[in-house]
Structure 1
Amino acid sequence: MACHVWTDWHALPAVARGGTVALGNLDGVHRGHRAVLAAAHGARPDLQLAALTFEPHPREHFRPQDPPFRLTLLPAKAAALADAGCAHVHAVPFDQALAAMEAEEFLDRVLLEGLGARHLACGADFAFGHRRGGDVTFLGRWAERRGIGLSVVPPVADAAGPVSSTRVRRALQDGYPERAAALLGRDWEVRGTVFHGDRLGRELGWPTANIWLGRHLEPARGVYAVRAVLPDGSVVPGVANVGRRPTLGGDPETRLETHLFDWQGDLYDQEIGVRLVRFLREDAVFNGLDELKAAIAADAAEARALLKAG
C-alpha cells in the first residue's frame, strides 16, 4: 500500500485531513510503533489512518553534534508506515519555531487546525511541546475538551523489557541484527545510492555496490550476511562489510560495501536497500591484498551457507 507524505501541515487539502492519527518519532517503526498504529485504526476503522512524526528527529535538531543514530530516514519510515496501513504520513518539520511551541498551541494549531484529527493514538510515554511540557494526561484532557478520541497504548514488551528504538540501536551496535529484527518485526535495512568507488573489489574478483551510511546509525563494524533489495524490487543474497577499509588506508566516512551473489549488472547512481541478517566477524586489518581476498572468499562462503540455511 502506498501512502502520501506531507511535509507541511499548513493548508492541507481535505483528503489529508480528518483521519485517525498515530503520534510519535516512530524511528524504526518497530513492533511498539505498530501497536500504536493498530490502536489508531482499531478505534476508528472508518477513518483514514495517518501518522504524525517529526523531521528531522528532535534529537538531531537539539544535538546536531551527536553521531548519526537514525534507524529509518523519512523515505524508509514512510514505506514501513505504509506497510502498516497508513494512508498519510505527516512529517512535521522540527525547527526552532516548532521547538518553541507550547504544548496546547501544538495541539490546537497542528493537530486540530492543521490535520483536523478526529482520533489520536500514542504510547504511554509520548511527550510534546516546548521542553516536552505536554504528556498523555495533558493530551487526554485536551482531547476530551475538543471531542477527539484518544487511545493510549501500553508498551509492547518481551522477556528483556519494553520494545524501543533504543533497544534496536543497541542490538545493532552490539552486532546482533537478528535481535534488532525481532524487535522491528523485519530485518533492519540501510537504503542509499550506489556510488563509484575505486573498483578494487572488481579487481579482486569481488565487485561491490557501495553506499555511505550517512545519517543512519552505524552498526557494529565488520562483515555481515545480507539480502539486498534492488531497484526492480528483487531481493538478492550477499555478503557486506560495514567499515572504513583500514587495510586500504581508511575512509573518512563509514561505508557499506555489498557483494551480491550470482548477480551481474550496473547499480551506479541507483538506490538500493541492504538488510543485515547476521554478523559474521569484526572488521580487521590484513597484511596485503592476497590475505584480504582470501578473507572475503571465506566470508562469502559462510554467508552463502547461512542464508541458504535460513
Structure 2
Amino acid sequence: MEILKDGFNLLHDTVIALGKFDALHLGHQKIIDTMKKISAEKHLKTVIFTFDNISDGFIVSKKEKEEFLENYGIDCLYCQNFDDNFKNTSAEDFFNEILVKKFNAKHIVSGDDWHFGKDKRGDVCMLEKMCNEKNIGFTVVERLKIDGETVSSSLIRSCISDGNIKKANALLGRTFSIEGTVTEGKRLGGKIGFPTVNFAAEKGRILPQNGVYASYVIYGEEKYLAMTNVGDNPTVDKNIEVRTETHIFDFDKNVYGEKMKICFLDKIRDEIRFPSVDALVCQLKRDKTYIKNNFKNF
C-alpha cells in the first residue's frame, strides 16, 4: 500500500472512500468493501481519504490503521491534516481541487452521514449532484445497524469505557487491542505467584473500564492466553495511576523493553480490594481457571 504524502504525483483513475475511519469497525469496513467491489468492476485504483489528527480516546493508532488497510488490500492511503487551512476549504474547492484534480476520482464512495467543506456545508446530496455534473460515479453507503443500533466509533468507545468488551469486539469485527512497550514494574505479582507484564499503552489510547479481563497476548508470531488487570491494584499497591498488567499463561520469557499487543476478550469481574493477599491469590487462581476453561479457542 502506498501512503500518500503532500505533493504526491497526480493519480489516475481512482475510486475514493471518504471517512474518518477512526475505528475501522464493521460500518467502516462496509464502505471499504463497497469501494473494493467498484474497483474490481471498473478497474480503478483504491484510495482511502481520511484524517491525520488523532484525539484522546482513540481506538486504533495511525500505525494500526496503516497495517489494517494494507492487509485489506487497499492501494493508497491519504491522511489529510485537519488544520485551519483545510477547515476553511469550501465544499466546492474540496470537490474540484482535491477529489477531482488531485486524486483524479472516477468514482466516490461515502457513508450517508458524510459532510465536507467549511462549516460542513457539503453533504451526500451535494456530493451526488457534483459527481453527476462531472460524470463521476457516486455511491452512498447506509450506516450499518446491528440489533437495531447504528455501528459507530462513539458507541464502541462507550462499550470499551463501560467494560463491555464483548460488544465492542462484535461491533469492531475483531478483538479490541492495545499495543505498546513492556515496562519493568515493582514485581509484586511475581511475589504472589502471578508474575505480570506491565504495559505502557500509547498516550491517548482508550482503555477498558477498570477490572479483570480474559485476554490474549501477541508476542512475535505467537499467541498466549492471559488475564489482564486494568486498574491500580488496590490490594497490594498504593499506586493511583491506572495501569495495564497482564499475567500470561505458560510464558516465562523476559520481555522488558519489547513490543507486545494485548487483545481483550471479555470482562470477567470488577477490580476490588481484598481483605488480604491470600484472599487475592485465591481469587486469581479462580480467575485463571475460569479463563482457561471458557476461552480455550481464543
Judge same fold: TM > 0.5, yes or no: yes
Match of 2:66 among 60, 66, 78: 78
**Deviations along 1:90-110, whole A, 9 cap, x unmatched?**
122222222232222223333
Instruction: Give the corresponding residue for 1:69.
Output: 57
Instruction: Give the corresponding residue for 1:96.
Output: 84
Match of 2:95 among 107, 121, 126: 107
State the identity as a percent. 27
Deviation of 1:222 after TM superposition, in Å, equals 0.4
Distance 1:5-1:295 versus aligned 2 partners, 3 A rule: farther
Count of matched residue positions in the alignment of Structure 1 and Structure 2? 294
Distance 1:141-1:285 versus aligned 2 partners, 3 A rule: same
In the alignment, structure 1 residue 54 sits paired with structure 2 residue 51: yes
Amino acid at match of 2:8: L
In the alignment, structure 1 residue 228 sits paired with structure 2 residue 224: no
Contact 1:12 1:115 in 2 (8 A): no
Deviation of 1:29 after TM superposition, in Å, equals 0.9
Deviation of 1:288 after TM superposition, in Å, equals 4.5
- Residues in 2 aligned to 1:242 and 1:121: alpha-carbon distance in whole angstroms: 39
Q: Superposition pairs for residues 134-153 of structure 1, below 5 Å?
A: 134-153=122-141
Give secondary structure in 2 for the equivalent of 1:79.
Answer: helix
- Residues in 2 aligned to 1:111 and 1:271: alpha-carbon distance in whole angstroms: 38
- Residues in 2 aligned to 1:147 and 1:269: alpha-carbon distance in whole angstroms: 54
Q: Superposition pairs for residues 27-38 of structure 1, below 5 Å?
A: 27-38=22-33
Distance 1:191-1:309 versus aligned 2 partners, 3 A rule: closer
Q: Superposition pairs for residues 174-213 of structure 1, below 5 Å?
A: 174-213=162-201
Deviation of 1:240 after TM superposition, in Å, equals 0.3
- Residues in 2 aligned to 1:293 and 1:305: alpha-carbon distance in whole angstroms: 18
Q: Superposition pairs for residues 113-132 of structure 1, below 5 Å?
A: 113-132=101-120
- Residues in 2 aligned to 1:136 and 1:123: alpha-carbon distance in whole angstroms: 8
Match of 1:280 among 268, 272, 289: 268
- Residues in 2 aligned to 1:268 and 1:111: alpha-carbon distance in whole angstroms: 46
Instruction: Give the corresponding residue for 1:25.
Output: 20
Give secondary structure in 1 for the equivalent of 2:33.
Answer: helix
**Deviations along 1:245-284, whole A, 9 cap, x unmatched?**
33411243x3221111101213222222211111111121
Amino acid at match of 1:25: K
Give secondary structure in 2 for the equivalent of 1:303.
Answer: helix
- The two structures have a TM-score, normalised by structure 2, of 0.90
Deviation of 1:17 after TM superposition, in Å, equals 5.7
Amino acid at match of 1:238: A
- Residues in 1 aligned to 2:3 and 2:279: alpha-carbon distance in whole angstroms: 48
Deviation of 1:297 after TM superposition, in Å, equals 2.4
Give secondary structure in 2 for the equivalent of 1:238.
Answer: strand
Structure 1, unpaired ranges of 5+:
61-67
Distance 1:18-1:208 versus aligned 2 partners, 3 A rule: farther
- The two structures have a TM-score, normalised by structure 1, of 0.86
Larger Rg computed on CA atoms: 2
Contact 1:43 1:151 in 2 (8 A): no
Distance 1:5-1:285 versus aligned 2 partners, 3 A rule: farther
Give secondary structure in 1 for the equivalent of 2:171.
Answer: helix
Amino acid at match of 1:85: G
In the alignment, structure 1 residue 216 sits paired with structure 2 residue 209: no
Amino acid at match of 1:118: K
Contact 1:176 1:279 in 2 (8 A): yes
- The root-mean-square deviation of aligned C-alpha atoms, in Å, is 2.1
Deviation of 1:130 after TM superposition, in Å, equals 2.2
Deviation of 1:133 after TM superposition, in Å, equals 1.9
Deviation of 1:309 after TM superposition, in Å, equals 6.1
Distance 1:155-1:308 versus aligned 2 partners, 3 A rule: same
Q: Which runs of 4+ in 1 moved over 6 A?
A: none
**Deviations along 1:207-245, whole A, 9 cap, x unmatched?**
222223432222221000001111x22211100011233
Instruction: Give the corresponding residue for 1:64.
Output: none
Give secondary structure in 1 for the equivalent of 2:224.
Answer: strand
Amino acid at match of 2:210: R
Distance 1:134-1:206 versus aligned 2 partners, 3 A rule: same
Distance 1:225-1:140 versus aligned 2 partners, 3 A rule: same
Distance 1:193-1:130 versus aligned 2 partners, 3 A rule: farther
Distance 1:49-1:270 versus aligned 2 partners, 3 A rule: farther
Instruction: Give the corresponding residue for 1:11.
Output: 7
Instruction: Give the corresponding residue for 1:63.
Output: none
